Amino acid sequence: MSELLDASTQIELFKEFYQLALHTELLENIRQGKKALVASFDALAKFNPEIAELLLEEPENTLKAASIAIEQLEGVRDFHVRFKNLPESQHIAIRNLRSTHLAKFVQITGIVRQKTDVRPQVTTARFECPSCGNIISVLQLDTKFREPSGCGQCGRKGKFRLLSKELVDAQKIVLEEAPDALDGGEQPKRLNIFLYRDLVAPITDRRTNPGSKVGITGYLKEVPISLPTGGQSIRFDLVLESNFIEPVEEDYSQINITPEEEEEIHTIAKQPDAFDRLKTSLAPSIYGHDRIKEAMILQLLGGVKKKRADGVITRGDMHILLVGDPGSGKSQLLKRATKVAPKSRFVSGKGASGAGLTASVVKDEFMRGWALEAGALVLANKGFCFIDELDKMSPEDRSAFHEALEQQTVTISKANIQATLRCETVVLAAANPKFGRFDPYELLAKQIELPSTLINRFDLIFPVRDLPGEEKDRKMAHFILRIHQTGDIHDVPIETELLRKYVSYARGRVFPKLSEDALNEIENFYVEMRNSGSGEEGISAIPISARQLEALIRLSEASARSRLSTVVTKDDAKKAISLVMHCLEQLGVDPDTGKMDIDRLTTGVTASTRNQVHMIKKIIKELSELTGETLVSEEDIIAKAVESGISEEKVEEVIEKLNRLGDIFRPKPGFYSIMK
């Protein structure tokens, strides 16, 4: 074919193609100072199938001809043509790349895992012969800098003087196969990609940040592998010389919504039962868990991120933790949410490390330095991260979450790299209680081996209990058996693809603000709750904290988004309040007083326990002052405490606790003294 279409014929055909199909675009790009033109392969194939076929078989030379055609046509140097929409036969998975694909035009899709800095690279160098003054140009095609082997005029073999060199911007990225394209136990394969010229321009550079899913067209090249002995290996490495790069629809801001779909979304939003339809469509194959599904829909829709004048950013993303019995459907809910979320990552606790979740620093062979490699939370930036088996992670790895959940950044200080990565990620986590099954009479903080600081960062915490009940069990069994019998679920109000687009549309285009009614509703609830435990002697319970107040605002905004409304109404505030109350009622009630106490949930120590500790210490101090002795007998402490309304068992428990903590000490059996 290349005999039929020599270089001059190719250039003439490309000139004709530009004048017929792309002349206006070409002139506009030149006028704007751009250095590239994007053309569709389909258009080239319609214009001339032969040259389109040649582009697939011999892309390097054909693309040079395409650039020369523009230079001759418009007089612009160093202008390049980028081709997109290659035929399906050229879409190759990274794992399927073979030697037959070398020097062929292919299209691959994957997730950017590593990215080096942009650095200049030599393409052509000009040398002068010191003997005769002859100018020699040498193309730099390999990784090693080449000098002329000899002068064509005088035959000199020695050193040549370097006059000038042409430099282009170059960058290397590492592309990894997307997890959804893998089968079973396959490990995702990686490929090195070289980007040049306008492909590393600042606008394009943002598309290739670690975590981005991109489609790249280019031609495959082999790179020699050097042996430690200094020779060259018989094995070669593969790299892709890129021609065009485009983001693949993944982030909610990139999802393409047609006018018909937009109309359909607005039709759903106008219906009075819009929220119920969304809730039913979220996980139709999972029975029950209505409150959790409600919270998950609000989490998918999200609150509004706010940036204040003083630079403080308040996150709009909310985090949810599901704690409960095995087999209660937690993992199923998480897996289903990955299908609905516009951009998501699924992580399981035992197989995750702190570096794998946040970021790690790896040795970079290309730049001879260190490069950042993004972890799951960073890869899911502006998306969702679903973490199963959170309790199975080691404490060191879990500590990586703290900054990511609240500040939504990941700070790395390793090797010679100090970096802060963005991590605007929504987290939905699931964990089992400490002893496998949930004990409703034990404190949550004692049952989950999670630090209180981490528990406190979740907006909503749901206990998922699996308690037997004949009617409920019959309905559930019937529901599951019916699905197995028919093999599918019918009457789902909103299809999964449309639900994804609904979430993307709401997150990207609807930014609700609090109305006065909603503001007053939340304010009144917060103040009433805060002061419901006060007025009694001693340390009063704290039923709710400022973190729950922010959670209420986020939930209210998400509720308004479910209707595509720009105003948060009183009903939205009530929906948020009922969800927060639902979680607090189940997890935040002090068993001694029957009152709501946020400390029970976050620290495991209730206000009544703190109050009793305070009273016992006060009694010991008073008895010591009264008798003038440093030692106070246990009998006297118990007698005095019982008078104050504390049970004998509780007094013994508190004394033991204080002794263990070192606040009081026991020099001899039955006698205690306060530590000075």
Q: Residue 20, Cα to own-chain centre: how many angstroms? A: 44
If pLDDT is split at 50, 70 and 90, which confidence band does 534 have?
Answer: very low
Sequence-ordered alpha helix ranges (H) in 588-633: 598-602, 607-627
Task: Report whether pLDDT(537) > 60.
Answer: no
Give domain status of residue 330, yes or no.
yes
Say whether both 96 and 68 belong to one domain. Answer: no
Sequence-ordered alpha helix ranges (H) in 271-309: 274-282, 290-301
Give domain status of residue 536, yes or no.
no
Do 297 and 533 contact (CB within 8 A), yes or no?
A: no
Q: pLDDT tens-digit profile of 491-532?
A: 677 777 788 888 888 887 888 888 888 888 888 888 887 776
Of 467, 492, 508, at which residue does a domain stop?
A: 467
User: What is the phi/psi pair of residue 478, to 5°?
Assistant: -65, -45
Task: Report whether pLDDT(329) > 50.
Answer: yes
Do 338 and 386 contact (CB within 8 A), yes or no?
A: yes
Say whether both 110 and 217 belong to one domain. Answer: yes
Number of domains composing the chain: 4
Higher pLDDT, 443 or 269: 269
Say whether both 289 and 431 belong to one domain. Answer: yes
CATH number for the domain spanning 344: value is 3.40.50.300
Say whether both 194 and 279 belong to one domain. Answer: no
Of 85, 102, 134, at which residue does a domain stop?
A: 85
CA gap 615, 621 in Å, rounded:
10
Give domain status of residue 304, yes or no.
no
Say whether both 63 and 160 belong to one domain. Answer: no
CA gap 638, 641 in Å, rounded:
5
Say whether both 234 and 269 belong to one domain. Answer: no
Give domain status of residue 501, yes or no.
no
Average pLDDT rounded to a whole number, residues 556-563: 87
Of 226, 247, 268, at which residue does a domain stop?
A: 247
If pLDDT is split at 50, 70 and 90, which confidence band does 365 have?
Answer: low
> CB neighbours of 586 closer than 8 A, spacing ≥ 6?
462, 463
Q: Residue 115 forms beta bridges with which residues? A: 173
Strands 190-196 and 232-247: parallel
Min mean pLDDT across 239-248, 272-281, 616-625 is at 616-625
Domain extent, residue 37, equals: 7-85
Most distant CA atoms of the chain, gap in Å: 114
Say whether both 179 and 118 belong to one domain. Answer: yes
The verdict on pTM exceeding 0.85 is no
Give domain status of residue 534, yes or no.
no
Average pLDDT rounded to a whole number, residues 286-304: 82
Residue-averaged pLDDT of the chain: 76
Q: pLDDT tens-digit profile of 79-116?
A: 888 888 888 888 888 888 888 888 888 888 888 877 77
Question: How open is the CA angle 425-431-433, to the nearest 5 degrees?
Answer: 150
Do 1 and 48 contact (CB within 8 A), yes or no?
A: no
Q: pLDDT tens-digit profile of 11-37?
A: 888 888 888 877 788 888 887 777 788
> CB neighbours of 178 closer than 8 A, spacing ≥ 6?
109, 110, 111, 188, 213
Say whether both 112 and 134 belong to one domain. Answer: yes
Do 104 and 56 contact (CB within 8 A), yes or no?
A: yes
